[in-house]
A and B are shown apart, each in its own frame.
Chain A
Amino acid sequence: MSDLVNKIAGANEEAVRRMLAADPVLIDVIPANEAIPELKPGMILHAGPPVDWERMCGPMRGAIAGIAVFEGWADDLADAEAKAAAGAFDFHPNHHFSAVGPMTGMTTISQPVMVVENRTFGNRAYCTINEGLGKVMRFGGNDAEVLDRLRWLRDGLGPAIGAALREMGGVPLKAVVARGLTMGDEMHQRNVGCSGLMLRAISPALARTAADTQELARALAFIGGNDQFFLNIAMALGKAMMDPVRDIEGSTVVTAMSRNGTDFGIRVSGTGDQWFTAPVEMPEGLYFPGYTDADANPDMGDSTIVETIGLGGFAMAAAPAVAGFVGAGSASEAANFTHAMAEIALGENPEWTIPALDYQGVPTGIDVRLVVETGVAPTINTGIAHREPGVGQVGAGVVKAPLGCFEQALVALAERMGVA
């Protein structure tokens, strides 16, 4: 028995070592089919574990229809939905292609993706550019305004940021996150500090590589006006950090948490690429004027990769304001969220520290054994989408990962190790 315990301890030590050794650098923005050669026309990557059209929630279907029109695979939204229902599109999780996407998480051939390279391990991860707030595709928005913005991201902003990053040799991200934590960001719901730091880092190179000052001004204004610009970068960072942690035999560390609006899924290092799923839960949160929880779609998106690396709900103590989304939560209770997450994590990240916790590091390495033992579910900070296609974001809040995923994963690990 103690041999097994030692084996797991050793495997988990290696998993945490790899997480902490990561050196993620934002190096480029390129079209998705360059980044992911497997991408073909008609192929749509989505957030979360696998899901087919029949089981997709409203916003996911809305985004599918919108992206199909955007890519020119359908004449209009109605046509796109009919084609989707008829099986014309090939759906796969982003996670199966080194990618992640927020909320609905649409990734298709022509969309620009940001490239984060983990220089310690040489792997790369991809995420689309954040579209900003309001009516956007990641929340299921799909009207002309949404599609026009996507075209500009593809033809204008994406290439511009890519050129700037190549010119400056990339932006190392670990220190940006460290600094953001001291500025009130938790990198899921709050990215104000990091987005500003990013703009500061790339502005000179953007200016040097810009062909047109009007285009440059538009790019600067878009980035500067989007408090969540850094979220998608943090997500690609998270994916780049966790992929080298996959497939460590005996490790009980969670390598991905993700939702598709229907199911919540996790992957665990010691069980390879198997998904363990359970129905997603409803976020508890606050709503924009005119909306209530009756309008809300269940939890959605690959952005939980941020919690998987110890940020988001795990770093709540760094962003006390976010605690206010939960019940009657007060900012002074934010530290308890981080303390609770430390109960289910193997270690701390000594480089990502929280001043208000006496520079305690963010909880790092979620252990499915600890989740099941304590019954403490990972806390996730999230946006809330409208349940109908095409409406977009209606609020933000906090949600718990369903314990069922972790219980299944633990049983699978036990079976694999011959102790079930």
Chain B
Amino acid sequence: MSMILNQVRRGYFLDSVALMRISRTVAGLDGVEEAALMMGSPSNLGIMCDADLLDEVGRAAAGGDLILAVRAADQAAGEAALAKASDLLERRPSAAGTGNTWRSKTLRSAVKHLPGANLALISVPGDFAAAEARKALRAGLHAMIFSDNVSIKDELDLKQEARAAGLLVMGPDCGTAIIGGVPLAFANVVPRGDIGIIGASGTGIQEISCLIAQAGGGVSHAIGVGGRDLKAEIGGITTLMAIDALACDPATRHVVLISKPPAAEVARRVLERIGASPKSYTVCFIGAEELDLPANARAASTLKAAALDAMQINALLGTVHTVTVPDARAGSIQGLFCGGTLAAEAQVIFRAAGLAVASNAPIPGIEPLAGSTALHRLIDLGEDEYTAGRPHPMIEPAVRDDVLAETLRDPDVAVVLLDVVIGLGADEDPAGHVAREVAGRGAGGPIVIASVTGTDGDPQGRLAQIEKLRAAGIHVAASNADAAELAVACIGAGA
């Protein structure tokens, strides 16, 4: 026995075409025989009466009133249909169609225009970043905070709030992430695959993901955690959540964790969490001494070693460029790096070779630059003393120009070691820039060795960048680690 249910909204107008669309949806619901939403004009009342849709509620409506009418198999179906009709009236789809070219000015509006979004990338001056991140979390979004200069207290507060809500805060100072195949901030175009990356270092994630891509692998997710996440004050909140998240991700087979050596207590907790994960792990605490790892984890001392271990291969097959080692010569090696973790990886190799080396961002066992008399120097040009008031050298390669020109002129320098980082967010032609600087050096100048962190899918194209470097007489190694080893070989290891 069918039921007729009517509702009247007094003084509620909506265009008849919009009403017909809602009517069609409601009429298609289970248990609904017929449905119509119409303004209560005399002619509409006639139509609805003929369709056997009116009860006394609807019949009493006036011309300016909206009638919601359903005929359903039973009371429950009728009520459900009216509820659905009301819902459709109140929540008409937002204007996210193709014709909408509006670029939101606030997070709030962006969420409205893109209701399916679940992550906000925050890149605003540091003073405002925490406030924006808080808005993102309260809108139910994961946050990637590219901004730096966020206080460690704000970082802790944000990460605790996020953890309580089951959301990830990547950063602050998180330069790189690839989530579900979408590169965020400085990242490279790498294939999707079954290797997850968790990293406290942007260029570390970039180098590893690119080497995995070179070796024919791919990345499921690369989760940046920010440079301070594994410090004692933060306690690895995001790293631990990332380990848990990837533990449940069916697309991830193996995970690479890359960081500077964490605080001992934090390292213990992180390794314990890894031990509880069903995934296998490669752990690269770059510059750290021996690690006491759980059974499902293996250690890697360099980014390259981490990538090879994750791929379970011994060499970067098919991608190794034949580099003839130039005649060994006397003098120093000067490394000028845009990527902080690439500078750290070079230090690991120099340390293993027993070279006397100093750095402005030293890893354990390496001398700090200030006051050092060490012959060799590995400089991170992304450190504050080089970037104060200037963009990062990955965005503006000219930051390296002055020091590079000076180094090339120095008669005591035997080898100049460089990194070239490409990808989304990086300068459009960093290799071309380096090539122009190096091409001007005099005959008999130092040997120049470089590597390109990137893929052929990147806008700059890795091979094209390598060709520009080679054309300027630069020796290009297959990886940053290979470049560092080549530099060591040039002066005769252990010299």
Q: Mark A338-372, 1 if CB is under 8 A from B, else 0.
A: 01101100000011010101111000000000100
The reply to whether A360 and B95 form a contact with Cβ atoms under 8 Å apart is yes
Known contacts A179-B13, A351-B12; A358/B106 CB under 8 A:
no
The reply to whether B18 and A359 form a contact with Cβ atoms under 8 Å apart is yes
Known contacts A339-B102, A340-B105, A374-B105; A357/B95 CB under 8 A:
yes
Interface presence of A182 (CB below 8 A): yes
Q: How far is the CB of B148 from chain A (nearest CB, A)?
A: 22
The reply to whether A370 and B106 form a contact with Cβ atoms under 8 Å apart is yes
Interface presence of B92 (CB below 8 A): yes
Q: How far is the CB of B58 from chain A (nearest CB, A)?
A: 17
**Total chain B interface residues with beta-carbon distance under 8 A:** 24
Known contacts A336-B102, A357-B95, A359-B92; A343/B13 CB under 8 A:
no
The reply to whether B95 and A355 form a contact with Cβ atoms under 8 Å apart is no
Q: Mark A354-395, 1 if CB is under 8 A from B, else 0.
A: 010111100000000010011010000000000000000000
The reply to whether B106 and A23 form a contact with Cβ atoms under 8 Å apart is no
Q: What's the Cα separation between A359 and B15 when bound, in Å? A: 9
Q: Mark B90-131, 1 if CB is under 8 A from A, else 0.
A: 101111010011101110110010000000000000000000
| Inter-chain contact total with CB atoms closer than 8 Å | 68
The reply to whether A343 and B93 form a contact with Cβ atoms under 8 Å apart is no
Interface presence of B11 (CB below 8 A): yes
The reply to whether A358 and B12 form a contact with Cβ atoms under 8 Å apart is no
Q: What's the Cα separation between A178 and B90 when bound, in Å? A: 14
The reply to whether A172 and B106 form a contact with Cβ atoms under 8 Å apart is no
Q: Mark B140-168, 1 if CB is under 8 A from A, else 0.
A: 00000000000000000000000000000
The reply to whether B105 and A172 form a contact with Cβ atoms under 8 Å apart is no
Contacts of A23 in B (CB 8 A): 10-11
Interface presence of B64 (CB below 8 A): yes
The reply to whether B13 and A351 form a contact with Cβ atoms under 8 Å apart is yes
Q: Mark A34-67, 1 if CB is under 8 A from B, else 0.
A: 0000000000000000000000000000000000
Contacts of A336 in B (CB 8 A): 101-102
Q: A295-347: which residues lie under 8 A (CB-CB) from chain B?
A: 335-336, 339-340, 342-343
The reply to whether A342 and B109 form a contact with Cβ atoms under 8 Å apart is yes
Q: What's the Cα separation between A47 and B93 when bound, in Å? A: 39
Q: How far is the CB of B255 from chain A (nearest CB, A)?
A: 35
Q: How far is the CB of B60 from chain A (nearest CB, A)?
A: 15
Interface presence of B89 (CB below 8 A): yes
Q: Mark B336-364, 1 if CB is under 8 A from A, else 0.
A: 00000000000000000000000000000
Contact residue among B15, B90, B93, B105 (Cβ-Cβ distance under 8 Å from A182): B15
Interface presence of B14 (CB below 8 A): yes
Interface presence of A175 (CB below 8 A): yes
The reply to whether B11 and A358 form a contact with Cβ atoms under 8 Å apart is no
Interface presence of A174 (CB below 8 A): yes
Select from chain B the residue with minimum beta-carbon distance to A339. B102
The reply to whether A358 and B94 form a contact with Cβ atoms under 8 Å apart is yes
Contacts of A182 in B (CB 8 A): 15
Known contacts A343-B105, A370-B106; A174/B12 CB under 8 A:
yes
The reply to whether A175 and B13 form a contact with Cβ atoms under 8 Å apart is yes
Q: How far is the CB of A353 from chain B (nearest CB, A)?
A: 7
Known contacts A353-B92, A359-B92, A374-B106; A178/B112 CB under 8 A:
no
Known contacts A172-B64, A343-B104; A355/B13 CB under 8 A:
no
Contact residue among A175, A355, A370 (Cβ-Cβ distance under 8 Å from B12): A175
Q: Mark A84-100, 1 if CB is under 8 A from B, else 0.
A: 00000000000000000
Q: What's the Cα separation between A178 and B11 when bound, in Å? A: 9
Known contacts A353-B92, A358-B93, A358-B94; A174/B106 CB under 8 A:
no
Contacts of B14 in A (CB 8 A): 178, 351, 353, 359
Q: B1-48: which residues lie under 8 A (CB-CB) from chain A?
A: 10-15, 18
Q: How far is the CB of B320 from chain A (nearest CB, A)?
A: 53
Contact residue among B13, B100, B108, B109 (Cβ-Cβ distance under 8 Å from A178): B13
Contacts of A359 in B (CB 8 A): 14-15, 18, 92
Q: How far is the CB of A354 from chain B (nearest CB, A)?
A: 9
Q: A14-50: which residues lie under 8 A (CB-CB) from chain B?
A: 23
Contacts of B95 in A (CB 8 A): 335, 339, 357-358, 360
Q: How far is the CB of A367 from chain B (nearest CB, A)?
A: 10
Q: How far is the CB of B354 from chain A (nearest CB, A)?
A: 55
Contacts of A374 in B (CB 8 A): 105-106
The reply to whether B94 and A343 form a contact with Cβ atoms under 8 Å apart is no
Q: What's the Cα separation between A286 and B94 when bound, in Å? A: 33
Q: B265-324: which residues lie under 8 A (CB-CB) from chain A?
A: none
Q: Mark A174-188, 1 if CB is under 8 A from B, else 0.
A: 111011001000000
Q: What's the Cα separation between A1 and B105 when bound, in Å? A: 25
Contacts of B108 in A (CB 8 A): 343, 370
Q: What's the Cα separation between A76 and B64 when bound, in Å? A: 48
The reply to whether B12 and A178 form a contact with Cβ atoms under 8 Å apart is yes
Q: What's the Cα separation between A154 and B102 when bound, in Å? A: 47
Q: A173-206: which residues lie under 8 A (CB-CB) from chain B?
A: 174-176, 178-179, 182
Q: How far is the CB of A295 from chain B (nearest CB, A)?
A: 35
Q: A105-130: which residues lie under 8 A (CB-CB) from chain B?
A: none
Select from chain B the residue with minimum beta-carbon distance to A177. B13
Select from chain A the residue with minimum beta-carbon distance to B22. A359
The reply to whether B92 and A172 form a contact with Cβ atoms under 8 Å apart is no
The reply to whether A172 and B11 form a contact with Cβ atoms under 8 Å apart is yes
Q: A221-280: which residues lie under 8 A (CB-CB) from chain B?
A: none
Q: What's the Cα separation between A350 and B87 when bound, in Å? A: 11
Contacts of B101 in A (CB 8 A): 336
Contacts of A358 in B (CB 8 A): 92-95, 97
Quick one: which of A179, A335, A358, A374 has the most chain B CB within 10 A?
A358
Contact residue among A175, A339, A355, A373 (Cβ-Cβ distance under 8 Å from B11): A175
Q: What's the Cα separation between A176 and B12 when bound, in Å? A: 9
Contacts of A343 in B (CB 8 A): 104-106, 108-109
Contacts of B94 in A (CB 8 A): 358, 360
Q: How far is the CB of A297 from chain B (nearest CB, A)?
A: 31
Q: How far is the CB of A378 from chain B (nearest CB, A)?
A: 14
Question: Closest 10 CB pairs between A and B?
Answer: A178-B13, A339-B102, A175-B13, A175-B64, A172-B11, A359-B92, A175-B11, A358-B95, A357-B95, A174-B11
**Given A343-B109, A353-B14, A360-B94, 15 other A-B residues pairs in contact with their CB atoms under 8 A:** A174-B11, A175-B11, A175-B64, A178-B14, A179-B13, A182-B15, A335-B100, A339-B100, A340-B102, A350-B89, A350-B90, A353-B92, A355-B18, A358-B95, A360-B92
Q: What residues make up the interface of B, taking CB atoms closer than 8 Å to A?
A: 10-15, 18, 64, 89-90, 92-95, 97, 100-102, 104-106, 108-109, 112
19 pairs across A/B with beta carbons < 8 Å?
A: A174-B13, A178-B14, A182-B15, A335-B95, A335-B100, A336-B102, A339-B109, A342-B109, A350-B89, A353-B18, A353-B92, A355-B18, A357-B95, A358-B92, A360-B92, A360-B95, A374-B105, A374-B106, A376-B105
Q: What residues make up the interface of A, taking CB atoms closer than 8 Å to B?
A: 23, 172, 174-176, 178-179, 182, 335-336, 339-340, 342-343, 350-351, 353, 355, 357-360, 370, 373-374, 376
